[in-house]
Chain A
Amino acid sequence: MSFEGIERFFVQSWLSFKALFGWIEPKTYFFVKVLNPIFQLLFFCLLAKYSFKTNDLTPWVIGNSFLLCIYNSIFGIGHVFVMDRYAGTLKMIIAAPFNKFLTFFQRGFVHIIDSLSTVAIGLIIGSIVFNVSFSNISIPIFIIIALVAMFSVAGLGLLLGSFGLVTSSMNFIANIVSMILIALTGANFPIETLPNSIRIISYCLPITRSIKAANLLMNGGSTQVIYSLIVKEIFVGIVYIALGYMFIIITEHIAKRKATLELY
């Protein structure tokens, strides 16, 4: 990619994020990206405290902080085509010669960065309220784990978003997927306690391995295992992105046949 191509990537990423998301405005940002996630985190951590009768809430603070990226990665990225449809700009994007998947990927990029800020807010609030200490761990490795987790969930968001070309019910789909992530990624219930068949689903989901790696890091687990989990998480993200790429080609074709590009 040329220098101009790289510049174009960042310009498009920023413009599309600014164009489609209202939380650029500080008030909306505060409610959607700060206050709401804090209460979600508090709810699940308090639930765990009383259900599991424990005072060490480290796994729940980490798991649920990671899950806060759902706002960006599932609802944000998953809705880009739908939001373009409502802005009346979807047909301009589809009829332009630029690769649709790249257009879509550019839009996901700022979401990954933005979701990191939400995750950081969750970790800071969680550590203050529930006395979780990060003093004895490698912060760079923790940041890498968080970044890989965001990348991987963004991959799932891209796959979901491709369905926006053929359905107007993305909210319904995004809600189901976010509930699956909350229940099955190990953020709230240890994966070992899930039935075998459900466990398979857990390991097909993004973020599961990142939560496991972060918890291992907090507990001083094997670095080898942590690195292996990080690599596997990247692979999961790549698989979802590849599926998203394929599905965009397929759904664009279906959308033109079934006239769903302007389905409200």
Chain B
Amino acid sequence: MKDSVICVENLYRDYETTKGWLNKKKVIVKALAGISFEVKKGEIFGLLGPNGAGKTTTIKILSTLLAPTSGESRVLGYKTFGEENMIRQHINFIFGGELGVYRRLSGRDNLVYFSNLYKIRKNIRDKRIDELLELVGLSEKGDLKVETYSKGMIQRLQIARGLINDPEIIYLDEPTIGLDPIGARELRDIIKELSLRRKTILLTTHYMHEADELCDRIAIINKGKIVALDTPVNLKKQNRITSVLEINVLGIYDKELEEIKKIEGVETVAVKKNDQWQLILIQFKNTHNITQNVLNVLKNNTVISVNERGALLEDAYVRLVGGSI
């Protein structure tokens, strides 16, 4: 791709660990098994996948924190391992969670510290810090120590920190994890605003609606391999011949799930566990009517509700990755 700012080609990354105490054995864990993709300038590119799929490993390699085992990864035309000094001024990243800022410093002092790591001139630095605190809604709390902040405020400070060098490329690794719905909405608005400013964003998330709303293109990654790469609209189209049956039940056993999987027309079965009940998501070919057959299997269970709907991005994801959500 001519205007690509991130190029990943046949990228592998293994982690080496040991097992045993006296008789140590080397164990190789394959985190990436030959992924390739490109990201265009100004694009919001999503990486979706279950835990351990290789999303964070990909971001670490692209942010110059990890060497690939083999293959090539280039950012702005430079290798992420070997030419990292050419890249670092132009990138930044935001990892979800409460780590990544100094709790004994105020929000403003954190931003001063990190901006100095990018050698930003004092007059620009002070102006930018004020703007960023305003952007993330921390202007009034900027001089308080971070240890007094809520989880959402820390996350917003992380965003300000990630923008401190006005990066061309921003990596966001599950940025809304742990945020309340309003906080997550505000963060998504900030991401959209950044996209309008032609920033390139590589985003990993577990939330399908977030990926659907924000991403121009999505790569679904599973066990270190990309299993699908397309726009959200096209990924959903892949599922156009399927419908989804949602059943809320009180208690479900593996045996019953296996029986449901055997029903003609059923493609995938996934279970979302809530505190008191389970939501069974059954994708099936919409040429079949499976509702009665499924309810027959569940005749000994307490069925709370049954709902049939068309396929969403989440269903495409389940179909490609398989298993529970």
Contacts and interface: CB of A to CB of B under 8 A. Distances in A.
A binds B: yes
Interface of A: 4, 7-8, 11-12, 15-16, 18-20, 22, 24, 87-89, 91-98, 103, 256-259, 261
Contacts of A88: 95, 97, 99-101
A122 B62 CA distance: 50
B99 A92 contact: no
Interface stretch (B110-118, B185-193, B236-244, B289-297): B110-118
A8 B121 CA distance: 10
B16 A258 contact: yes
B195 to A, nearest CB: 22
B78 to A, nearest CB: 13
Contacts of A98: 116-119
Which DSSP category, helix, strand, loop or mixed, fits chain A's interface? helix
A92 B100 contact: yes
A15 B112 contact: yes
B65 A19 contact: no
Nearest to B88: A97
A7 B104 contact: no
A95 B93 contact: yes
A103 B113 contact: no
B156 interface: no
Contact of A256 (B65, B103, B105, B119): B65
Nearest to A253: B67
Contact of B67 (A89, A91, A256): A256
A24 B88 contact: no
B91 interface: yes
A15 B99 contact: no
Contacts of B116: 8, 11-12, 98
A262 B245 CA distance: 42
Interface of B: 15-16, 60, 63-67, 81, 85, 88-89, 91-93, 95, 97, 99-105, 109, 112-114, 116-119, 121-122, 161
A115 B70 CA distance: 46
B113 A19 contact: yes
Contact of A19 (B91, B100, B102): B102
Contacts of A15: 102, 105, 109, 112-113
Contacts, number: 87
Contacts of B60: 91
A98 B16 CA distance: 30
A259 B15 contact: yes
Nearest 10 A/B pairs, CB to CB: A88-B99, A19-B102, A96-B117, A97-B88, A88-B100, A98-B117, A256-B67, A15-B113, A257-B67, A97-B89
Contact of B99 (A11, A18, A87, A257): A87
Given A11-B112, A257-B67, A92 B117 contact: yes
A24 B100 contact: no
26 contacts: A4-B122, A8-B119, A11-B116, A12-B113, A15-B109, A15-B113, A16-B113, A18-B105, A19-B113, A87-B99, A87-B101, A88-B95, A88-B100, A89-B99, A91-B63, A91-B65, A91-B95, A94-B64, A95-B63, A95-B64, A95-B93, A98-B118, A257-B67, A258-B16, A259-B15, A259-B66
A18 B67 CA distance: 32
Given A15-B112, A257-B67, A261-B65, A89 B119 contact: no
Contacts of A256: 64-67, 81
A93 to B, nearest CB: 7
Given A91-B100, A97-B88, 14 more contacts: A15-B113, A19-B102, A87-B100, A87-B103, A88-B95, A88-B99, A88-B101, A89-B102, A91-B95, A92-B117, A95-B64, A96-B117, A97-B118, A98-B116
Nearest to A106: B116
Contacts of A257: 67
A95 B81 CA distance: 12
Contacts of A8: 116, 119
Contacts of A16: 113
B94 to A, nearest CB: 10
Contacts of A259: 15, 66
Select the residue from B97, B101, B109, B117 with max chain A CB neighbours within 10 A. Answer: B117
Contacts of A4: 121-122
A107 to B, nearest CB: 11
Nearest to B101: A89
A98 B119 CA distance: 7
B63 to A, nearest CB: 5
B115 to A, nearest CB: 10
Contacts of A96: 88, 114, 117-118
A103 B65 contact: no
Contacts of A93: 117
A24 B95 CA distance: 28
Nearest to A21: B104
Contacts of A89: 99-102
Contacts of B63: 91, 95
Nearest to B81: A256
B72 to A, nearest CB: 15
A7 B121 CA distance: 11
A24 B85 CA distance: 35
Nearest to A96: B117
B68 to A, nearest CB: 10
B104 A97 contact: no
Contacts of A18: 104-105, 109
